[in-house]
Amino acid sequence: MQPSFVLQVFLIFLILCNSLNSRFHFILHATCLNDEGYTLLTFKQSITQDPDGSLTNWNYSDETPCSWNGIACKDQKVVSVSIPQKKLQGFISPVLGSLSELRHINLRSNKFMGVLPFELFNAQKLQSLVLYGNSLSGSVPNYINRLVYLQTLDLYSNMFNGSLPISLIQCRRLRSLDLSQNNFSGSVPDGFGSSLGFLEKLDFSYNMFTGSIPKDLGNLSNLQGTVDLSHNMFSGSIPSSLGNLPEKVYIDLTYNNLTGPIPQNGPLVNRGPTAFIGNAGLCVPPLKNLCNPNDASDASSLSSFPFLPTNNPSSEVEAGRKGLSKGAVVAIIASDVIGICLIGLILSYCYSRLCLCGKKKHGYDKGGSKRRNECLCFKKDESETLSEHIEQYDLMALDAQLGFDLDELLKASAFVLGKSGIGIVYKVVLEDGVTFAVRRLGEGGSQRFKEFQTEVEAIGKLKHQNIVTLRAYYWSVDEKLLIYDFVPNRNLGTAIHGKSGVPSFVPLSWTTRLRIIRGTAKGLAYLHEFSPKKYVHGDLKPSNILLGLNMEPQISDFGLSRLANIAGSGTPVLQSNRVVSDVATTTTATSASASHAPVSYYQAPEAFKVVKPSQKWDVYSFGVILLEMITGRPPVVQVGSEEMDLVHWIQLCIDEKKPLSDVLDPGLAQDVDKEEEIIAVLKIAIGCTQSNPERRPSMRHVVDILDRLSQD
């Protein structure tokens, strides 16, 4: 037998064996994996990129997919597909709709593209559909009414467009509906508020919705938190029925085309003017715009205003006067005479007291002793400054639990923490070991005690875990003190950049930075939205974000510039016989490299043109701080021989398409697994530092986004 023939036979044998082996594996696979497993593998084929290998254990070797990453089962049936934040890229395959027991889909924060397939809604037991943070587009299919058990629909931050399907109102079990940051347009379907009575969360912000706000939204009695309709194109008047919503609900209507009066009922009452900005046609409190009395667009709202009579008396009044009796005329004349006499007596008394005051102003009493002038004189200068000359010689507590008095404070050991043009800050340790931070505003200046007292007591009412608490104050002509809780763990500037002259420095981990970012955002959101007067900080920077024992942030120096101005403080002289001057002191500058950076780098561009501060100033400052925490760089960056602020430097890096590693703080090198979160926060920072204040998000919206990062 020739060798070539033997070789051919051998090759044919190998081919047959390989074919049989393939068929054997196919049969084996077909007998092992169930139908739902094959369905999920078909879904896997629609994913073009899986850089983290999240779906590597999705294969044919298992009997069911219940042990696969992101899959949960009940009674061997798939009930949940949850693969968030895995950088998956591809399309959402319609085969998911064939999973008969599927109840939860969570594909948030990936890179899915394309449309939402209508076949997906064949999974009629679906309870939650979470797709936010992708690049999905197109409209929401009208077949959504098949999902009669749907409770959560979250499409936030995609590119969906078109109008809302009218069939959405048939999803009567919906509790959370978030469609924000898309391109939805058209009007909200009729019957929206009447049909979706279980809704607890509603967010339509940053879309292009038009038409009027549905009047039946007031029927959504289970709503909580914020009802966000901001940054749309809603027009017409604000329905007074919105006042039927729970009073704790915050209604955000900013930046629409709303007109007419603002109803003064329910949660619409006592909202600051910032709650309605961006609607030039709105009028009445809290806005300065006055309503046109001829505008009858909302008679129910106008009815609460007093009637203003005309200058011409009515015919009824004239007829009444003609019918007066002689007795009534005599009574009227007598009362007029008595009234004139009383007015004359009062004027005579006041004139005599005024003259007496003038005579005694610089004189002595009959006993020859000089005494304080106590007469009540109607003189402008003295009446307005009477309260401003009051001396305060005791410690005024703003907290009922304050357990010390002025003597104890003056006897305590004090260490200088820092000083600036506004005053010196001391660490004060009482005899019992309790520690406070005391800011001395200096001496001299105009003495406006009542104004100072009002301002400081308002600040003392602010209670939030991310805002330093003001506990007490002291006022006298020569001394003004503010007593705060002591926050022990330095400030954010030192934590980011280290302290000048101290070689040992451990960079903050990303987890710690994110905790600080989230806490700072919550503190600002409290000032902006939930404090009694919807405050603006106006001077936010890393040096006044203090860090507690567990690195929890607390915003300090709120209202300080205003108090210093009232107190007339100049740069105080460092002197106190109670201070241990040679104990370690700290600077409030952010770092050696950033200590000379002007505050203007944290201020919004419009702050140099507009006198009155706005909440969007704080948003910009917060954005700069985020960039500082992500990059590890000071607010001014050296680029060659020139200096550039951090905001423009980041934009330059984006334009030049530099890799993320060139931007990140080298101290974050160990947090490579947190890249997705870092990019998300970087996007927030870029949004906060937009040059146009109207394009910056609210701090409440920033808090919502940051809270999502901690969710699975």
Catalytic residues: 539
Nearest-angstrom CA–CA distance, 97 and 88: 19
Q: Report DSSP letters for 132-156, one per residue.
A: -SSEEEEPPPGGGGG-TT--EEE--
Check whether the bond before 286 is cis (ω within 30° of 0).
Answer: yes
CA-closest candidate to residue 352, choices 342, 344, 341: 344
Residue 545 CA, distance from chain mean position: 16
DSSP letter at 667 equals: G
Q: Are strands 47-49 and 89-91 parallel, antiparallel or unpaired?
A: antiparallel
Alpha helix (H) ranges present in 184-325?
192-195, 299-302, 315-322
Nearest-angstrom CA–CA distance, 101 and 683: 37
Are 122 and 101 contacting, i.e. CB atoms less than 8 angstroms apart? Answer: no
Amino acid, single-letter form, for residue 545: I
CA-closest candidate to residue 622, choices 679, 693, 711: 693
CA-closest candidate to residue 423, choices 296, 561, 540, 525: 561
Nearest-angstrom CA–CA distance, 473 and 480: 7
According to DSSP, the residues that pair with 461 across neighbouring strands are none
Q: Are strands 208-209 and 235-236 parallel, antiparallel or unpaired?
A: unpaired
Nearest-angstrom CA–CA distance, 196 and 199: 6
Q: Length of the chain, please? A: 712
- φ and ψ at 163, to 5 degrees? -90, 160
Q: Are strands 636-639 and 642-645 parallel, antiparallel or unpaired?
A: antiparallel
> What is the Rg, in whole angstroms, of the alpha carbon atoms belonging to the chain?
35
User: Which stretches of 275-423 are assigned E, i.e. beta strand?
Assistant: 281-283, 396-397, 413-419
Burial class (CB in 10 A: 0-12, 13-18, 19+), 210: middle
Burial class (CB in 10 A: 0-12, 13-18, 19+), 355: exposed
Burial class (CB in 10 A: 0-12, 13-18, 19+), 566: buried
Cα 549–Cα 552–Cα 555 angle in degrees, nearest 5: 115
Range 246-261 burial, b when 16+ CB lie within 10 A, else e: eeebbbbbbbbebbbb
Nearest-angstrom CA–CA distance, 626 and 688: 9
Q: Helix axis angle, 615-631 relative to 510-525, nearest 10°?
A: 180
Residue 542 CA, distance from chain mean position: 18
